[in-house]
A and B are shown apart, each in its own frame.
Chain A
Amino acid sequence: MNSVSSTILYIFAFFSVYVQVFFLFTFIENRKKIVIRKGVTKLAKYPGVTVIVPCWNEEGTIYKTVRSLLHLHYPQDKLKIIIIDDGSTDGTWHALKKFSGYSNIKVFKKENGGKYTALNLGLDHTTTEFVGCLDADSTAHPEALVRIMSYFERDATIMAVAPSVVASSSKSFVQKAQRSEYYMSVYTKKMLAFMGAIHVTPGPLTIFKKKVFDDLGKYRHAHNTEDMEIAYRMQKNYYKIEQCNDAYIYTNTPPTAFTLYKQRLRWIYGFINNTIDYRDLLFKKKYGNFSTFTVPAGVISVITASFFIGRILYNIADFLYSKFVAYQTVGFDFSVNIFQFDFFFLNTKALIFLTLMIYTSVFFSIVLGRRMTEGDWRVSFDLVLFFIVFSFVAPFWLGRAIFNTLFSRKPAWR
């Protein structure tokens, strides 16, 4: 039993190392193509862009979000903003009234029906060639849109461009931990873009050609992860998705472990279920690296993490049981064992070295992600927090997402 479990563990460890090496290899191959623009970007032509801002109870953040859109370095007559109040019960509608005087802003109020319904209402009113969404808890860097649009100008085959989403404020230690994680996802997203294999077009300001929705249909509920489903649908139809690493969108991150858990539960549940829905895309040569790398790597990471968690839980249960047996047999042991470090008892199994390799690779992903967004090589203490917070909280959302999938329970949005 133990040896079977070890063999499975080593197989998963092999795949996990493989994924990390694949990313590093892609980075080395394409490192010269990664550019960070500092000044003002100019375009030959400024096509019309509509940004839809769906909001539900966002009275605290909506003003800043819309202000950031108005401050974008993009001709205001080419930029349309559609704000949809999706049945808010707080002061969101009141906050939106401040923008009633802007000719390029349209505000709608509807009954609460979920984010995808708000986006679809926005799409119904979109008349421009390009369309995107900006979550009401995010703000855009003034150069973000023009940098994104420069990708479309350069390559006419591109159908969507995702930005670099970075964590805005980092007050609590949970937010500090996420800061590092967001850097890592900038890195992985860019590498996936080089492979033509992006699996999510995030809510904070991914810009699409309107043609995408005209051809493939509007947003779907998609297990509360409509931004993932549309990417899967685009991959299925060979639509090219790019990532613009120097288009920064600052997003509010969950401040506590519980809110982080709720958010990630929704994401992982969405990943598992969208993958199940699009399972016919797996290992089909015609769908490219998305089919042979992105989705399998995601599936492997979910299985590996679940297996690790299972083992850890088993070990904890085993430890507690042995303590219980010890208590039953000899009573409480009050003697204090003075810890003496002895190299001999240090675990030197191959798995430990493989885990170290994976951790080192994750460390470099974060450092490279930061380099790709902020342009510096600094290593912050947040990185340590990332390893601590995610090691403790991830098992819970992962376990719950699998449980929910197996027993068909849908996680709430918040």
Chain B
Amino acid sequence: MSAALFQLNTEHSPKKRWWTNQELAEFYRVSDIMAQAGLEVDSESGLSDEGDPWFVYVRSDTGDVIAHFAIIDGTFIAVSAVTQDLYRGKDIRSLIDQLVERHPMMMPSGSNGKVVLHPSILLTAFVAAAFVAASEEVQANTIEEVLEVALAINNGEKNTSTKTGSNTADPSQSTEVADEETGKEINAETAPAFNDLDAGKTFGSSFSLLGAIILALEISSRETALANTQQSSNSLNMQALTDLYSSEYLPVPSLVSASNPFSITDFNQDDVSNLGDSTQFHEPIPNSQLTTKKNAATLTTDLDSSYLGMQDAKMIASDSLINSPNTQNNSNEDFSSYSHLGDGGFSQATTSDSNLFYSSDTEQTSKTVRNDISEQKLSVAAIDIVSLVSGTVNNTSQKEDNLNHYSLDNSLITSFSSGPVDFDMQIASVKEVQENSTSEENSTKGEVLIPSLNIKGHLLSAEGPETLTLSNEVDILLYEGGNVSVSNFELGKDRVWFFLSEGKNLYESYKITESNDLVLEFETGDTLTLLGVLDTESSSLVL
């Protein structure tokens, strides 16, 4: 006679599941990003005998596993296969939070913990760091060592630094990567992974690897921006665009330096080709630097919930930003303010109802603009022209007051060009809902005006008229090209949107004439002239 003893497991058994498509997509995206940076990794996934999924990254050249992800009993784990650094969390987002907690250097300085880093960036950082840690040349004990070294190099920290001019000796690494590292400095105190390295070949190779990790992060951040803006290209979804501006999609966080102001005006994937020269990095602008909010509205925006396990992620945009020449206004309020014009009242600006701008619920005529832009990566640009010409505007404070009445920020020109997507954009003249509420006589100074203005769209192209006189409504100029002179353009109320081809700068140069005309000159030789736009008297009168 025999007896079998069965152990009754009374504990709740988490439901086993395979990776979601989103999770897999994110994993593969990391692979792609790393491949672009010259870090070739394979990946493989499988199920345990209990049905728990795992996913690993494997170095293509050696076959060694560098990072292991799994969901064990409902808990996400991430492990650096070499250093065995292990992270646990309820989802990948929480893993990433742990990564940030353990590696505070990854956070941008001065962020006060308010910045939400994009999951892809940190996921890539983790895998890329694991890749570097798995290199024989890099005698790192922990992921943190690798990250510290990489980020210290990237920050150009100068303590007991050792100058290196060595090029890569590793044929598997691109020379661009090595060149990018040439001349950079490494902080020996914060670089224990490199303390024991011999000079020469190994050193150069290590630097090329570190260059690769930086590249991976850079590409990750760039693609993050693109991925989000491309969402908007499908349906001209303003939410995505405003999310881009209002969120903190940072490049390698510590790359952000106040002493290194950005000169970029757009996000261009082609820029990746320039990554070999660190001086040509066109870093995505931390959007906190893009934002000017005179109304001091604290913006809380849901980040893309499609990212792995990313729930209830919020970011708070900084409201303490300034109008510096290198500061771009965001277009967030542009979109929201339009929508509120149609509401017949002004409330706290949000982006959730920005689609009102394109609402078909209008009584006025609408104008459909067909815009076919091909072979372009989405790029986004915003120019604060008030800042641009601030030296010539004498009555700024008065303008700003008026701008506040209209809930408009002082960004004048917003530009974006779209990806290879054909889209119809409907510029609707939004009829005011509460028509009886506004008259000039009833409006008292200091009171929030209820805008009674319609929105009118004007397509400006080489085939169109060369002159245009704007109305006293909110005029939106959609500039495709051509030599056009526009009169009655009112600062703070009217807008210009540029639709430019790939590779074109927003404008080549600008000049201000004696008659207070603002002339924007483009590479094509076309000019857009805003006649008398800087005539403060007329602007003030209008406003």
The answer to whether A and B belong to the same complex is no
Binding site for A on B (CB under 8 A): none
Interface residues, chain A, CB within 8 Å of chain B? none
